[in-house]
Structures are given as structure tokens and as C-alpha cells.
């Protein structure tokens, strides 16, 4: 939208400016620019390949630009000269012609050489005639007329100016000075309504643009306010959720403390049971000296006790304190206490425990068992002969290792 608003005035201005010159001042200005372009076409050093030095059919600036299409950067000079405002008095027109002359003869040596060209004097005379014939019309009794010269060969630059001066001289024969002034005023008055119309259109477009910008800005503020309210609601919800999570953390902390208390009590209970077991073991060891030691076989008076161990924690035996009452997937050895001071052990039949033992057979069976072949990962462990244990203090020492094989 913004792009079209700014392009439209430029388009309208280009339509207004791209018109055929009207009025004596505009016509004189056009003839000066046209005669200057024709003079530049005679500069064969700067512009090569130019064969025609007279623009006979040029009635406006567009046709003049087409005539100068092979002359580099001359079209930009024409645009520059067209933009210069010139008043109706002769002094301003002379000043304009001097500005045009300076543009084409100053700046470098090649331009300055144009002052020495054969057609320069004719160019100066043609410009002087244009100014004299349009700004100050000659008396009615001595009108200035020129006749185009016909020649079999292309005319020089001085002669080429004659056809262009003819319209101004003819205008002096048919129109009086008062008629020219009235015509100029009429043309200017005809332009005024268009200026007001264009100004009004531009004003309306600018008003629409600013009104549209105002609506967009107001909508943006409303959207920002809605977004702020939404974010405020989210912040309140997050605050409530944070408080709820904080309460949950406190509740979990209390539950953790309760679990820790229960765990401490359980440890104390297990420690008490362990002490009772150790007490029984000590009482069993404190047998009177006169009582003969029991045989390795199960005594008829002794009820066998089955315990479990994960590994030989004493390297050459099992710690009595580390024996377990129940087996699990990591209890590799099954220990049978046959008397207060003797016992036997074998590898557990639990398949999970056997797989656990096979993961590091040299560690678990190095001192506890004897075997002839190395096991495979999926072997089944068979105990051919249980190992023998003897109680030595708080350790069940291995007297004879167990003999096993792998199927």
C-alpha cells in the first residue's frame, strides 16, 4: 500500500511534465535546448556515427531524445535543462542559455574545444536570434522570417538552425504581442485546475495513508494489550502451579523422612537378629571339652541349618555374619551347617545365580571349587561332590573344595 501511494504522485507528475511545450517561454526554452543538441551532434570527436545534424521532426522533448539516442549522456542533459525554471523576462532566458552553454563547453579539454569548432559562431547567432524573436517580438512592420535553405549535401550546423527558427518568426507574422501574452495567460490558467485537482488527490491519498497507519497502530496496541493480559493469566497460572509443586515437594520430603525412619528401624531389627544368631553360634562353640567333637556327617541330635552366600568373602572361606537365610538370583553357594562346627557347601541350582557365577567363573570358583574344563556362557553347573567347611572363629573355612563340572 505504501509503495503505491508514493508511486502514484510520481506517475501523475510524469504525465504532467511529459507534454509538448506550450506558450512563448516554453517554446523558446525548447528551441534553445533543441538547437544545443543539434550543435552537439556536430562534435564528431565525442559522438561518432552521427550522420544527421538537424532534428526537423522534433516537436517535443521525447522526439528530441530519440534524435540524440546515439549521443551518450545527452538525454540526461536534456532532463537536467528541462527541470530549470525560466521566467518570462529576457535576462532569465539569457542566463538559461549561458547555463546550457557552460554545461557543454566546460569541464575538460574536449568540451572546451567545442568553442573552437566551425559551427560555434552560427550556434551563438542562432541562440541570440531565438531569444530576440520570442522574448522581444520584432515590430509588426519588420517581421523576422527565415526560409530553410535547400542544398544537395547535408547542411552545416549554422544552416541547420534556420528551419528551427522558422516557427518563431512565423508566429510574429500571424500573432501580435498582446495575443501572445493572452495565449500564455490562458495556458497558465488552464493548468491551474489540474494543479488543484492533483493536489487534492495527493492530499486525499496522504489522509488515507495516515488514517490507515492510525488504524494499524491502534490495532497493534489492542493486540499488545490482549497479549499482555494473556501473559498475565499464564503467569498467574504458573505461580499457582509453582505453589502446588512446592506443597508436593514438602509432602514427598515428609514421606522420605518417614521411609528413612522405617529403614533405620529395620536395620536395627536386622542387627538384633544378627546378634542373636552370633550368640547362638558362640554358645554352640562353647561345648564342654569332655564332649567329643561330632562327626562330619549330620548328627542325629543336630538339626541342619541351610544358609546361602553370594561369594567367598574371606577368599578361603565364608564369613558367618554374611550368610543369608534366603536365596536370590545372586546367591551362588548353598551352605548346610551339619553341626555347630562343621558344614558342607555346593553350587546353587538356581539358573539365574549360575549365569551370574559364569560371568566371572575364575573369581567365584577360584578357591572354592575344583573343575577340569572351562565353562561356556550357557553351561549348567553340576556339583559332583560338596565341599567341606570347618568353623574357625567367625569364619567357615574351606577344608576341601567342592568338585563341579559344566554341562
Instruction: Name the DSSP letter for residue 35.
Output: H
Nearest to 142 by CA among 151, 152, 132, 150: 132
Nearest to 310 by CA among 371, 375, 357, 342: 357
DSSP state string for 104-116: HHSSSHHHHGGGG
The 10s digit of each residue's pLDDT in 254-264 is 999 999 999 99
Nearest to 326 by CA among 308, 303, 304: 308
Tell me the mean pLDDT in the region 324-349: 93
d(CA 132, CA 134): 6
DSSP state string for 365-394: HTTTEE-SSPPPTTPPEEEEE-EEEEEETT
Q: Which long-range contacts (CB under 8 A, 24 or more apart) does 112-120 make?
A: 113/45, 114/39, 114/40, 114/43, 117/42, 117/43, 117/157, 118/156, 118/157, 119/39, 119/42, 119/156, 119/157, 119/158, 120/39
Is the confidence at residue 154, as pLDDT, over 60?
Answer: no
Residue 319 Cα to chain centre, angstroms:
69
Is the confidence at residue 28, as pLDDT, over 70?
Answer: yes
Give the per-residue pLDDT at 176: 39
Give the per-residue pLDDT at 292: 43
**Cα–Cα distances in Å, from 37 out to 45, 65, 97, 101, 114?**
15, 9, 13, 11, 13
Angle at which helices 120-134 and 24-40 cross, to 10°: 170
CA gyration radius, the chain: 61
Give the per-residue pLDDT at 245: 95
Band of residue 67 on the pLDDT scale cut at 50, 70, 90: very high
The 10s digit of each residue's pLDDT in 132-150 is 874 333 333 333 333 333 3
Give the per-residue pLDDT at 21: 53
The 10s digit of each residue's pLDDT in 79-107 is 999 999 998 888 999 999 999 999 999 98
The 10s digit of each residue's pLDDT in 263-310 is 998 988 888 888 887 787 777 655 444 434 334 455 567 889 999 999
* Residue 4, helix vs strand vs coil: helix
Give φ, ψ of 336 to 5 degrees: -115, 115
Is the confidence at residue 56, as pLDDT, over 90?
Answer: no
d(CA 104, CA 33): 11
* Residue predicted with more confidence, 345 or 287: 345
Is the confidence at residue 250, as pLDDT, over 70?
Answer: yes
Which residues sit opposite 369 in a β-bridge? 402
Give the per-residue pLDDT at 232: 94
* Residue 330, helix vs strand vs coil: coil
Contact present, 341 and 390 (Cβ < 8 Å): yes
CA angle, 200 then 205 then 211, to 5°: 125
Which residues sit opposite 391 in a β-bridge? 396
Contact present, 12 and 201 (Cβ < 8 Å): yes
The 10s digit of each residue's pLDDT in 159-187 is 333 333 333 333 233 333 444 444 444 45
Write the CB contacts of 101 (distance below 8 Å, at least 6 apart in sequence).
36, 127
Band of residue 375 on the pLDDT scale cut at 50, 70, 90: confident
Is the confidence at residue 34, as pLDDT, over 70?
Answer: yes
Nearest to 199 by CA among 22, 20, 21, 12: 12
Which residues sit opposite 305 in a β-bridge? 337
Is the confidence at residue 234, as pLDDT, over 90?
Answer: yes
Give the per-residue pLDDT at 3: 52
Give the per-residue pLDDT at 283: 72
Give the per-residue pLDDT at 48: 86
Q: Give the containing element (helix H, strand E) for 28.
A: helix 24-40
> How many other C-beta atoms are found inside a 10 Å radius of the C-beta of residue 284?
14
Tell me the mean pLDDT in the region 108-128: 91
Amino acid at each position: 500500500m505504501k509503495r503505491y501511494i508514493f508511486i502514484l504522485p510520481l506517475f501523475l507528475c510524469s504525465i504532467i511534465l511529459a507534454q509538448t511545450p506550450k506558450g512563448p517561454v516554453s517554446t523558446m526554452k525548447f528551441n534553445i535546448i533543441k538547437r544545443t543538441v543539434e550543435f552537439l551532434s556536430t562534435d564528431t570527436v565525442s559522438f561518432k556515427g552521427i550522420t544527421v545534424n538537424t532534428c526537423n521532426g522534433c516537436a517535443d522533448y521525447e522526439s528530441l531524445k530519440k534524435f540524440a539516442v546515439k549521443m551518450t549522456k545527452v538525454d540526461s542533459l536534456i532532463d537536467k535543462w528541462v527541470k530549470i525554471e525560466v521566467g518570462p523576462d529576457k535576462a532569465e532566458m539569457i542566463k538559461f542559455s549561458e547555463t546550457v552553454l557552460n554545461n557543454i563547453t566546460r569541464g575538460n579539454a574536449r568540451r572546451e574545444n567545442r568553442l573552437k569548432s566551425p559551427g560555434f559562431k552560427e550556434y551563438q547567432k542562432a541562440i541570440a536570434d531565438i531569444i530576440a524573436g520570442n522574448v522581444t517580438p520584432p515590430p509588426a512592420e519588420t517581421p523576422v522570417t527565415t526560409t530553410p535553405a535547400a542544398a544537395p549535401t547535408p547542411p552545416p550546423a549554422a544552416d541547420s538552425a534556420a528551419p528551427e527558427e522558422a516557427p518563431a518568426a512565423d508566429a510574429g507574422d500571424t500573432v501580435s504581442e498582446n495575443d501572445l501574452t493572452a495565449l500564455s495567460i490562458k495556458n497558465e490558467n488552464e493548468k491551474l485546475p489540474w494543479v488543484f485537482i492533483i493536489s487534492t488527490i495527493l492530499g486525499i491519498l496522504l489522509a488515507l495513508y495516515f488514517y490507515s497507519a492510525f488504524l494499524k497502530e491502534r490495532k497493534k496496541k489492542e493486540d499488545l494489550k490482549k497479549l499482555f493480559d494473556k501473559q498475565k493469566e499464564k503467569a498467574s497460572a504458573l505461580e499457582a502451579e509453582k505453589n502446588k509443586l512446592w506443597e508436593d515437594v514438602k509432602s514427598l520430603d515428609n514421606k522420605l523422612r518417614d521411609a528413612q525412619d522405617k529403614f533405620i528401624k529395620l536395620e536395627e531389627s536386622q542387627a538384633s537378629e544378627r546378634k542373636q544368631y552370633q550368640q547362638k553360634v558362640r554358645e554352640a562353640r562353647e561345648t564342654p571339652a569332655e564332649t567329643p567333637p561330632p562327626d562330619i556327617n549330620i548328627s542325629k541330635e543336630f538339626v541342619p541349618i541351610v544358609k546361602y552366600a553370594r561369594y567367598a568373602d574371606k577368599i578361603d572361606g565364608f564369613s558367618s555374619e554374611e550368610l543369608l537365610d534366603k536365596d536370590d538370583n545372586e546367591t551362588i553357594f548353598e551352605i548346610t551347617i551339619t553341626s555347630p562346627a562343621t558344614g558342607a557347601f555346593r553350587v546353587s541350582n538356581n539358573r539365574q545365580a549360575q549365569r551370574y557365577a559364569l560371568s566371572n567363573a575364575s573369581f567365584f570358583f577360584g578357591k572354592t571349587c575344583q573343575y577340569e574344563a572351562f565353562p561356556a556362557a550357557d553351561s549348567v553347573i553340576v556339583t559332583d561332590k560338596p565341599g567341606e567347611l570347618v568353623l574357625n572363629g567367625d569364619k567357615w573355612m574351606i577344608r576341601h573344595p567342592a568338585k563341579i563340572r559344566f554341562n
